[in-house]
Homo-oligomer: A and B are copies of this chain.
Amino acid sequence: MSRISPKRALFEQFASVAKAVAHPLRLEILEQLAQGERSVEVLADRTRVSVANASQHLQHMRRAGLVTARRAGKFVFYRMADDGVLELLAALRRTAEARSAEVERVVRNYFHDRDALDAVSRVELVERLRSGTVTVLDVRPRDEFALGHLPGALNIPASELERHLAELDPIREIVAYCRGPYCVLSYEAVALLRARGFKVRRLEDGLPEWRGAGLPVEASGPP
């Protein structure tokens, strides 16, 4: 009898996109995909869930159009559909940040207190890069670095940082970055390096935002 109203049909579509990002694991997977494409196994590994489970979540997001899949031999590589998804995630973060005291509490306890929270903005870093007065330090794992990184960045994964301090010039100021605004790696790196007397600050967000802003990215290509 009564057909569904066009307005309701639209809202249903919008809701299904929202549902696709309404699960903590899917958000974590998306943070990974924001760095570059990834196979199902790698994603399952990084997020510490079973392969079957990761696969299901990935398909959920594929149905919603948030990610796309590409088959290469035995592997299926997923990637973020486009930068619009990054914007949606950023809007989600901002809303959560502004509205939930819980988010602030977590952020304060685990992130900001480790740091003087004087992060470097993208535009400031662009300036400093032009004048060549900073070392840019990428503290993500090597494979993520290989898929794309800030121009001229040095890659020392956070887990190996302590053993590779010799590679850093103790005079030049360092700017560290990682996956995004809520990635712990760069916070940890800053804390460690400051304790060793280095002059170091964090980039306010990570590689995906840098790329999303249309700034240049270097890639080493797959090894």
Contacts and interface: CB of A to CB of B under 8 A. Distances in A.
Contacts of A91: 87-88, 90-92
B11 A15 contact: no
Interface residues of A, number: 50
A6 B84 contact: no
A102 B99 CA distance: 32
A125 interface: no
A152 interface: no
B21 A18 contact: yes
B92 A18 contact: yes
Contacts of A1: none
Contact of A17 (B7, B17, B96): B96
B14 A96 contact: yes
A93 to B, nearest CB: 6
Contacts of A10: 103, 106-107, 182
A17 B24 CA distance: 11
Interface of A: 6-19, 21-28, 64-66, 81-82, 84-85, 87-88, 90-96, 98-100, 102-103, 106-107, 109-111, 182, 184
